[in-house]
Structure 1
């Protein structure tokens, strides 16, 4: 059974690209913002979340805060995609709350390799 990845990205073109690349190896669900992610999580279990930070409705920082505030979601690994530098984000989120950070524009191959690594580690644990 394929692992399920939830991609949270407001840019339609980038969201479609991420879906295309990641769906070759995983079950991928894409949503436009954090609020849609929360709604999706209520009906669909996921193994990993890949989220943008700067989005309407509920941004990535708010989504991560929501996940960490609800025990049922705390164990889901979260990767961040952002055009913000990591040092600027660290004032908003704890880098220990995420398993990976990728600055946009990003190398999709590296993102895929990082996801593969996280799933390999979870099998070993």
Structure 2
């Protein structure tokens, strides 16, 4: 059975790119454009991994990671942050709130796929 990846990304082109790239590597994906929907979708979709942007409307990626990690049913799901925040202190902050991996934008397609595979 294919591993399931929930992609949380507000930019439609990036969301399509990530989902298409993951599907091409035989992952089952579901995309969410609004961080407010991510927790509900994570419960319904039961992903093996969550790939998410940090810059989201309505709720920041930092807050969303904290919500996911505070939820007993979801806290074990690894989270990979994909963001334009590329400084060392940005990565440290993202990991400090609970992300398991970090990939900076613009992404390297192979690094992205390799990071996903490493978490699964």
| Fold agreement, TM-score > 0.5 | yes
Match of 1:90 among 82, 89, 92: 92
Runs of at least 5 residues in structure 2 that lack an aligned partner in the other structure:
none
1:89 offset after TM fit, Å?
5.0
- Aligned alpha-carbon RMSD (Å): 1.6
Q: Which residue of 2 aligns with 1:115?
A: 116
When residues 90 and 33 of structure 1 are mapped into structure 2, their CA distance, relative to the original with a 3 A threshold, is: farther
Per-residue CA deviation, residues 59-84 of structure 1 (Å, 9 max, x unaligned), is: 21111010111111110000001111
Aligned residues: 118
Please list, as runs of the form range in 1=range in 2, the aligned pairs for 1:1-20 lying within 5 A after superposition.
1-20=1-20
- Cα distance in 2 between the residues matched to 1:89 and 1:33: 22
- Does the 8 Å CA contact 1:86/1:101 hold for their aligned counterparts? no
Q: TM-score, normalised on structure 1? A: 0.86
Runs of at least 5 residues in structure 1 that lack an aligned partner in the other structure:
120-125
When residues 21 and 90 of structure 1 are mapped into structure 2, their CA distance, relative to the original with a 3 A threshold, is: same
